[in-house]
Structures are given as C-alpha cells and as structure tokens.
C-alpha cells in the first residue's frame, strides 16, 4: 500500500476523530469548570474540593493499562464505545450525587468518567494507526485540533445548563450524558484495524519488548517524562483556576470564559504544531513548550487581575500543546507497531498517575496552603518549577545520549 493510499484512509479516520474530539471532548472543559466548585459545595473538607477532578484522572490512570491492550486485541472502536458509555453512566451517577447531596456518589460518577477520559486520550494514537510516517505528526495535530470546537461548545453550553435546575451544576452533568450518547454514534464511521484477536499467531512474529526493556530506551523514557510534566502542570493549574477566579471576586461565568480561552489555546496551535515538528524537530518543540509553561507561571504570579488569569491560562494551553503533542510524536516514533498496546498503555498510566497527583495537590495548595485565594494561587504556580526542571533536564540528557551514541 502506498503512502498516498494509506493516507487517504487515514484522513477519513482523522476527520471522524476530529468530530469526536469536538463533540465528546466538550464534556471535559464543562466538568473541569464545575468539578472543583461542585466538590467544594459537597465536600466535608475544603482541601478536598478538587477531589472529583482527581477521581476522573485517577479513573483514567487505572483504565489505560487494560484499555490499551484491549484495543490492541479488539480494535480501537470497541474501546471508544466503552469510553463513551462509561462517560454517560458516570455523568448520570454524578448528577444523582448532586441531587441527593452526596459527595461520595459524586466521586463514584467521577471515577467512571475517567474511563471516558482515558479512551479520549487514545484518539491521538488512533490517528497514527493508518497514517504514513510523514503524515503521523500532522494526523496527531489535526485530531488534537478538534479540541478547538470543544473549547467553544463546552464552556458556552455550560453557561446555559449549569444553573438550569434548583440544584447547582445538575444540568451540566445531564448535558454531559447526552453528549456521550450522541457522540458515540460517530465511531461507526471509523475504518481502523480490527485488532489482533483473530489474527493467526506466526512462528517468527516479532515479540514486543518487555516494560523493563522499553523503559531502557532513552527516547521512550524522555517522551513519557515530557508528556507527564506537560499534562500534570496543565492540570495542576487549570484545576485550581475556577476556585482562584471565584475566590478573587470574579464570577462563575468569568471562570467559564477563562477556561474556554485556555482550551482554545490548547488546541489552536494544533493546526501547525505538526508542521513545526517536521521542520524543526520534536525536541525543539517540546523545549519551546516547557519555556511557554514557565512564562504562564510567571504571569500568574505577577497578579490576580482578570487579564492575568486570561494570559496565564492561554500560555498554559499553548505550552501544553507543544509539550504534549511533541512528546506523543516522539513516543509514536520510538516503538514498533506490535508494541503499541504495551507502550501506549504504560505511557498513559504513568502520565495520568502523575496528573492524578497534580489534581490532588491542586486543591490542597489552593485551599490549604495560605489564608487567602491569592496565596493559594501563588502556591499552585510555584509548584510548577521542579517539574519544569525535571523535563528540561530529561531533554538535555537525551541530547547527550545521542551525541555519545
């Protein structure tokens, strides 16, 4: 099969995945805006306000190790259907938790929502399954660009539904359930490999490397570290943002608009990130992303005016885009096709494990590290520094490894 033929099929899949990212992905900014606020409303301890978001990320971390091999055996489509179904059920359970005023039922629904979040994370890998090597970074970028529409749909829809019922935020979770049920219909249009379950086992078939062997590959290790840092820092700051915005005297609608600007900034660069990677190399784009994340923290620390929130969160989104898409591209090129189930599952388990820690720390830093919202917000942004040093050091180490090789 020629690259042109393969990419014709890949472009069709990318179009479907872009639509899925736009429609189904709209639920994530909706939940991230109200998750901490709903948690603060029901939580018995203020420090645990962001626990519903932490449970989503924890559910994603626990899902990746089994969902990735499942899709390797049974095909991506089945995994995507599982994710959307879990998202719908989780949203309904969370809505019920709000209705009866139970923090723990809200957490149970959040945990199931994590299955959807994990499945969504594999959209970017599915884009590469039928793409040629030259089209892969562009395919990843285009799928991530679908988040541009979700950044508009999610927060604006949330404005309409968050106060639609007497119980605050109940309408948000009901709308999220509807998005999942509608969006899963898109997956019928995907033309992806059906998996290895029914393929004959060949005597000379290559065996995937063990996890230990994979983690001794410098490019895999650095790709995982950079993805982990980019995603964790984005989550750390974004999770606290609605609490900080409201705590500094602004409104819930201000928080929706800031998160909308942030999510737009996460995905707008995707239209050209793949081209930049192809031109300048993946390491330089990841490094640029880390520098932009650093500037996001500096802007946040410089003040708590509404414009500071907007600029800091926009920079946070762009930095995440360069760092995460760059790391995803590096990882996709560092393993063989028959290793993808192990590598991608391991990557997402590690990445979302750290994101879980970041989201847990976010609520503690924001609500329990100082007497005011400003002090908590400053603590959140100062916490970015050691992680940026870690990722920057990993890129420098990779460069030295290449020179010595």
* Domain range annotation of the chain: 3-195+211-404
Model confidence at 84: pLDDT above 80: yes
Section 48-68 average pLDDT:
87
Give pLDDT, residue 201: 45
Least confident stretch, 2-11, 18-27, 99-108, 180-189: 2-11
Give pLDDT, residue 137: 76
Section 277-303 average pLDDT:
95
Max mean pLDDT range (28-42, 102-116, 124-138): 102-116
Q: For domain 3-195+211-404, is the CATH number 1.20.1250.20?
A: yes
% of the chain exceeding 70 in pLDDT: 95
Report the predicted TM-score, pTM, of the whole model to 2 decimal places: 0.76
Model confidence at 206: pLDDT above 80: no
pLDDT tier for residue 203 given thresholds of 50, 70 and 90: low
Model confidence at 117: pLDDT above 80: yes
Q: For 87-111, what is each residue's pLDDT tens digit?
A: 999 999 999 999 999 999 999 999 9
Give the per-residue SS3 of the chain. Answer: CCHHHHHHHHHHHHHHHHHHHHHHHHHHHHHHHHHHHHHHHHCCCHHHCCHHHHHHHHHHHHHHHHHHHHHHHHCHHHHHHHHHHHHHHHHHHHHHHHHHCCHHHHHHHHHHHHHHHHHHHCHHHHCCCCCCCCCHHHHHHHHHHCHHHHHHHHHHHHHHHCCCCCCCCHHHHHHHHHHHHHHHHHHHHCCCCCCCCCCCCCCCCCCCCCHHHHCCCHHHHHHHHHHHHHHHHHHHHHHHHHHHHHHCCCCHHHHHHHHHHHHHHHHCCHHHHHHHHHHHCHHHHHHHHHHHHHHHHHHHHCCCCHHHHHHHHHHHHHHHHHHHHHHHHHHHCCCCHHHHHHHHHHHHHHHHHHHHHHHHHHHHHHHHCCCCHHHHHHHHHHCHHHHHHHHHHHHHHHHHHHHHC
pLDDT tier for residue 197 given thresholds of 50, 70 and 90: low
pLDDT tier for residue 166 given thresholds of 50, 70 and 90: very high
pLDDT tier for residue 317 given thresholds of 50, 70 and 90: very high
Q: For 344-386, what is each residue's pLDDT tens digit?
A: 778 888 888 888 888 888 888 888 877 788 999 999 999 999 9
Give pLDDT, residue 340: 75
Least confident stretch, 7-11, 159-163, 198-202, 311-315: 198-202
């Amino acid at each position: 099969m020629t690259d042109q033929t393969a990419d014709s099929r890949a472009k069709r899949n990318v179009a479907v995945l872009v639509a899925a990212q736009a429609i189904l992905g709209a639920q994530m900014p909706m939940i991230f805006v109200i998750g901490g606020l709903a948690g603060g409303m029901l939580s018995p301890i203020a420090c645990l306000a962001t626990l519903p978001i932490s449970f989503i990320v924890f559910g994603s971390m626990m899902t990746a190790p089994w969902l990735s091999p499942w899709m390797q055996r049974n095909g991506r489509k089945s995994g995507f259907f599982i994710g959307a179904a879990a998202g719908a059920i989780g949203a309904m359970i969370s809505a019920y938790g709000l209705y009866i005023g139970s923090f723990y039922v809200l957490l149970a629904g959040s945990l199931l929502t994590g299955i959807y979040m994990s499945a969504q994370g594999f959209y970017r890998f599915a884009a590469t399954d039928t793409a040629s090597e030259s089209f892969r970074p562009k395919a990843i970028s285009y799928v991530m660009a679908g988040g541009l529409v979700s950044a508009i749909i999610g927060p604006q829809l949330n404005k309409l539904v968050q106060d639609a019922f007497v119980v605050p935020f109940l309408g948000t979770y009901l709308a999220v359930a509807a998005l999942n049920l509608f969006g899963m219909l898109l997956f019928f249009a995907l033309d992806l490999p059906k998996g290895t379950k029914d393929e004959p086992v060949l005597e000379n078939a290559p065996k995937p490397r063990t996890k230990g062997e994979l983690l001794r590959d410098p490019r895999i290790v650095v790709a995982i570290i950079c993805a982990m840092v980019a995603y964790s820092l984005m989550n750390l700051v974004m999770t606290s943002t609605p609490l900080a915005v409201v705590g500094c005297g602004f409104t819930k609608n201000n928080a929706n608009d800031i998160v909308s600007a942030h999510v737009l900034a996460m995905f707008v660069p995707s239209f050209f990130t793949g081209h930049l990677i192809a031109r300048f190399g993946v390491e330089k784009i990841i490094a640029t992303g880390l520098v932009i994340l650093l500037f996001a923290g500096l802007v946040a620390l410089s003040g708590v005016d509404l414009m500071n929130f907007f600029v800091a969160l926009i920079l946070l989104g762009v930095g995440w885009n360069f760092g995460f898409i760059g790391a995803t591209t590096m990882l996709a090129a560092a393993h063989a096709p028959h290793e993808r189930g192990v590598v991608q599952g391991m990557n997402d388990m590690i990445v979302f494990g750290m994101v879980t820690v970041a989201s847990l720390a976010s609520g503690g830093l924001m609500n329990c590290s100082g007497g005011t919202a400003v002090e908590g917000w400053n603590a959140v942004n100062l916490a970015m520094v050691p992680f940026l040093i870690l990722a920057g050091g990993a890129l420098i180490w990779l460069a030295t490894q290449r020179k010595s090789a």
